[in-house]
Structure 1
Amino acid sequence: MSDEKLSDNERLKGDSALLRGTITSDLDDNITGGFSGDNFQLIRFHGMYQQDDRDIRQDRIAQKLEPLHTVMLRIRLPGGIITPQQWLGIDEFARDNTLYGSIRITNRQTVQFHGVLKHNIKPVHQLLHRLGLDSRATAGDVNRNVLCTANPVESNLHIEAYEWAKKISEHLLPRTNAYAEVWLDKEKVSLNEEKEPILGTTYLPRKFKTAVVIPPQNDVDLHANDLNFIAIGENGKLTGFNVLVGGGLAMTQGDVSTWPRLASEFGFIPLAETLQIAEAVVAVQRDWGNRSNRRNAKTKYTLERVGVEVFKTEVEKRAGVSFLPVKPYQLTGRGDRIGWVEGVDGQWHLTLFIPSGRLIDKPGYPFKSGVAEIAKIHQGDFRLTANQNLIVAGVSEENKQQIDAIARQHGLIDDTVTSLEKNSMACVSFPTCPLAMAEAERVLPDFVKSLEQSLDRHGLSDESIVFRITGCPNGCGRAMLAEMGLVGRAPDRYSLYIGGNRQGTRIPRLYRDNFSSAELIEMMDELIARWSEGREGNEGFGDFVIRSQIVAPVMDSARDFHAVS
């Protein structure tokens, strides 16, 4: 819808032969460990990002060596469910064929391998295929891994919602045969025979995220997603969805043309119209999204430019359906129920707290081996949560004691984990993320410890704050939905945002910009002191700083997110 020059990403998608590019020949190039030209971007559509170890980058340059190129590979797991057998397969690969030996659970309910060398890329895709998995469309300008509330208690409603998450994921996948040809050595298909009826031959203007939400839990952070289906049930049966469109958290510091945005309510739809609506929302964004400026290419900016009602009307027109009024729903929190809970079906579910989702064996904390040992005997499934934790779901009474013993033996059950730890999150950042500007995952424990000391010092040791760190403003750590969030600006320099809420329905506002971690710890201590002295009842930190006018609420992101509070 713009007369401006298209971004170069549009050219490379159009020239890619429906995402094939020259990836196959690039794989045979042993001179470099990386990918050249357009292939650097195209492998993202196949679920990978090229990275290098930034801790040793300068040393390698000094030795006249190229950076240690590897890829991060992300698996497609709609709703975050994986079988024990599949888990054991990826566990073995991570152990034997990655530089770091770890598995990382992401806050989009899947797992990432970090440090996959070029000669291991094709074997890992073929392994995934044998396990019944793939990494299609987990990156790039497509609909990404579809989230679903990891609700282990209301099992019947969860099963229905999860099935819809899978259906949506499959329906919106690219139709190109490129993945099968490049990685699985399948027979080549003529381009004349291929169509991309939903995504189009140049795919979407930007990445697109979808979630299925089961109230009252908002563990998937619905306002971080372009498209959300809020499950509405009656008598334990799913009847339809409230549809919300246009959420997103990425922004660029200092660029007032970018901002985080809460999703807008479009209305209610019965189950039979789910895929029609999903396809129509994607199609409107495909045709109306900004293909000139990638900073303004997400769905949230399209809604702001054309108006919510105009976008909604076009979706109804293309889907051939009309939205009904939104059904009542309530969101009460986002945290996982750590520990054992019993489901309505009498099965037990164990939610394991995994710090930053990082499963690796360390002295005294053999987390990765512990999950593998559980997988060897578990008869149910594993559910990855959007808080980067792991649920051992569907455990019978007779197996409960044995699984509990394995988890405790490997440090996976730790009764000393605090509420603040459980409600904190960080993106990967250094050393592997090429966009990182400051540390996140590696400094999260230090920040949490300092905050816990502040809570204890001010008589709030039983309290918690939704606290998040992201190493750059792209939003992976979801700091823009935290009560207290840090966004990296440079090494040991962060911006502090406060004023989100526990439910995840309010965007925080900038409080202090570009300070060191030591300075920020002092500021956060002062804020916690004020919270302790001035809170009303059980008032959360985010609600307190808004009510006490420490910062003003962000009411309209496009208008006032960048405004001085």
Structure 2
Amino acid sequence: MSDDVKLSKVEAIKTDSIYLHGGLDKEMSSEGGAVSDEAYELLKFHGSYFGFDRDTATERKKAGLEKEWEFMVRMKAPGGRITAKQYLGLDSICEKYANGTLRITTRETFQFHCIIKQNMKKHIAAINELLLTTLGGCGDVVRNVMTSPAPKKDKLHLKLVEDANAISEFTLPKTSAYHEIWLDGENMARNPSNEDYEPLYGKVYLPRKFKISVSVPEDNSMDALTHDLAIIQIWEAGELLGYNLLLGGGLGMTHNKPETYPRLATPIAFIEPDRLLDGVAAVVKLHRDYGDRSNRKHARLKYVVEENGIEWTRSKLEELYGEKMQDARPMGQFKVVDHMGWHEQGDGKWYLGVPVSSGRIIDRGDEKIRTGLREVVAKYGVDLVLTADQNIILCDIAQTDKQEIVDDLKSFGIKLVEDITPVYRNMLACVALPTCGKALADAERIKLPVLEEVEQVMEKHGILDEEIAIRVAGCPNGCSRPYVGDIGIVGRMPGHYAMFIGGDFEGTRLNTKILDRVPQENIKEVLDILFAKYKAEKEEGEGFGDFADRAGIAGLAQLVESNLGDKYKWAKAA
């Protein structure tokens, strides 16, 4: 960027922190539950967001009480891989230091909620004792690296996991601040002018967060095209030829700010197998050097690619890579694989995908998910994989244990894939209220009530067996990836949502907004109209998003308005 551009406040905080140290050590050991704005920004790099319980804030203010301050902690687990020992340890940590739940994120990892400041150091240290880390779980660095969750033992899947681990290790921040603050590490010499201290990121790190996935077209269950860098392995006759690099995906936007928008990654180049980390470094540095550091809402790599064009992007990338790059190779059709239920691993053992509503591992009513998973993992010693659709996979199961594991899970009321509808299976929701400071409306807390209404409407129209992906987000930042689902429901204000339709189930097409402020209780009325049209006019095997795209999204929006516009002010086509 030009030296004349006024940098954002966060850029100054990063610069002054001397590689993420700042005053965190003193602040986190001080009295009280809150932290400064500087600490709020730096904590992200260490894997934590600071906030407060938004449900109780107003009443406490009226009573003259301080807000209920709390922290969220997010760890890293490349490809979602967790050992049995680690899982049992994390289950204990969430009970001891957090709110007694584990939450699977849409990036194949865990986060913990409602941690008080006095427990933060113990919480993070306990995670590290399990040989896991929270460093880079949030912040302006490469986040958790995603890949196929399938724990298959064939050459392709083993290579996917190998690459995800290598990229994660390569992009992990090198600062000593994390170990000094949380793990009582040695206070290493700090030299703010030494760029080699963070050879990949530099002293100010990236302009914004950076997301990477490594996958194959045959399994796009992690929505690869929504990443800043989507690495697609190219195989032929059982051999890895190399990698396509697709740049500039990202979903965050701001309502009524057209200069912000979701975007899917674009194929830019192909690299040889032995240059993977060189390619990753070049793309990360492209963002580092050319990303917008003046406006954080315009700071993602997608804006660099979109506004400068493909040729410019390729040229700058080649400069950073050190040589000319090949054109991206042809890729097969992207598909979404369902990893729920039983699947063979390829080594004589099996894996079982277990659905977890909104990724929240909690004992809820008759469904004792947390207790049941803990008992099964402890009894059978199975490793686990966390999936991008907020579910969990139990791995390495012997044929002789299959039925007993099913019986054990069902004894705790845990639903398996045969117990739920396809729309239940394919509905995601972010955390939102009351713990997310960005949320404009509920998401996780309304998922099951909205799902029940959706199922009723689908059953009414005879389409309950259709695969329809619905994503609910509490704000337009889009953590539940609402802009690539068949239907996106995005928080607009408390109790009201913007509705989007026309994405495809495979995650290769963005959807389009049709309505802006739909009250939660009226979502079912909108879907009733749309599903009736879908049932009447869909082609054989056509998904809802594909139908909406073919039929014309503007026309469907007008259809809703013509049916509901006289009754509701909000029912005006967007």
TM-score by length of 1: 0.95
1:511 is paired with a residue whose SS is strand
Give the Cα separation in 2 of the matches to 1:330 and 1:356.
31
1:551 is paired with a residue whose SS is helix
- The one-letter amino acid of 1:213's match is S
- 1:370-409 alignment runs, 5 A limit: 370-409=372-411
- The one-letter amino acid of 1:497's match is F
Q: Give the counterpart of 1:529 among 512, 527, 532.
A: 532
Q: Residue by residue, what CA displacement relative to the aligned partner does 1:192-221 show, whole Å, maximum 9, x if unpaired?
A: 276111111011001110001133111111
- The one-letter amino acid of 2:350's match is W
Q: Which residue of 1 aligns with 2:34?
A: 34
- The one-letter amino acid of 2:171's match is L
Q: Which residue of 1 aligns with 2:61?
A: 61
Q: Give the counterpart of 2:470 among 462, 467, 471.
A: 467
Q: Is the 8 A contact 2:79 2:146 kept in 1?
A: yes
Give the Cα separation in 2 of the matches to 1:332 and 1:13.
39
Q: Which residue of 1 aligns with 2:560?
A: none
Question: 2:484 aligned with 1:485, yes or no?
Answer: no
Shift of 1:291: 0.5
- The one-letter amino acid of 1:175's match is K
Give the Cα separation in 1 of the matches to 2:239 and 2:108.
24
1:240 is paired with a residue whose SS is strand
Q: Which residue of 2 aligns with 1:547?
A: 550
Give the Cα separation in 1 of the matches to 2:135 and 2:258.
34
Shift of 1:474: 0.5
Q: Which residue of 1 aligns with 2:179?
A: 180
Question: 2:300 aligned with 1:301, yes or no?
Answer: no
Give the Cα separation in 1 of the matches to 2:47 and 2:406.
34
Shift of 1:460: 1.1
Q: Residue by residue, what CA displacement relative to the aligned partner does 1:327-373 show, whole Å, maximum 9, x if unpaired?
A: 33334433532111112222200000000000011231111111111
Q: Give the counterpart of 1:249 among 248, 251, 256.
A: 251
Q: Which shifted more, 428-437 or 226-235?
A: 226-235
Runs of 4+ in 1 over 6 A off after TM superposition: none
Q: Is the 8 A contact 1:175 1:195 kept in 2?
A: yes
Q: Which residue of 2 aligns with 1:561?
A: none
Shift of 1:14: 0.4
Q: Residue by residue, what CA displacement relative to the aligned partner does 1:53-76 show, whole Å, maximum 9, x if unpaired?
A: 111112221222211111100011
Q: Which residue of 2 aligns with 1:338?
A: 340
Give the Cα separation in 1 of the matches to 2:83 and 2:412.
20
- The one-letter amino acid of 2:30's match is D
Give the Cα separation in 1 of the matches to 2:365 and 2:545.
37
Q: Is the 8 A contact 2:457 2:524 kept in 1?
A: no
Stretches of structure 2 that go unaligned for 5 or more consecutive residues are 557-572
1:312 is paired with a residue whose SS is helix
TM-score by length of 2: 0.93
Q: Residue by residue, what CA displacement relative to the aligned partner does 1:71-123 show, whole Å, maximum 9, x if unpaired?
A: 1000111111010000111100111221x210000010000010111111111
Aligned pairs, number? 553
Q: Give the counterpart of 1:287 among 281, 289, 295.
A: 289
1:148 is paired with a residue whose SS is coil
- 1:410-425 alignment runs, 5 A limit: 410-414=412-416, 415-425=418-428
- The one-letter amino acid of 1:189's match is M
Q: Is the 8 A contact 1:509 1:552 kept in 2?
A: no
Give the Cα separation in 1 of the matches to 2:166 and 2:391.
24
Q: Which residue of 2 aligns with 1:454?
A: 457
Q: Residue by residue, what CA displacement relative to the aligned partner does 1:232-251 show, whole Å, maximum 9, x if unpaired?
A: 22344433221111000011
Aligned-residue RMSD, C-alpha: 1.7
Q: Which shifted more, 503-512 or 341-350?
A: 341-350
- The one-letter amino acid of 1:508's match is N
Shift of 1:170: 1.1
Q: Which residue of 1 aligns with 2:511?
A: 508
Give the Cα separation in 2 of the matches to 1:404 and 1:270.
44
Q: Which shifted more, 510-519 or 173-182?
A: 510-519
- 1:10-21 alignment runs, 5 A limit: 10-21=11-22
Stretches of structure 1 that go unaligned for 5 or more consecutive residues are 554-563
Q: Which residue of 2 aligns with 1:432?
A: 435
Give the Cα separation in 2 of the matches to 1:210 and 1:179.
22
Q: Which residue of 1 aligns with 2:106?
A: 107
Give the Cα separation in 2 of the matches to 1:341 and 1:442.
31
Shift of 1:172: 1.2
Question: 2:124 aligned with 1:125, yes or no?
Answer: yes
Question: 2:143 aligned with 1:144, yes or no?
Answer: yes
1:38 is paired with a residue whose SS is helix
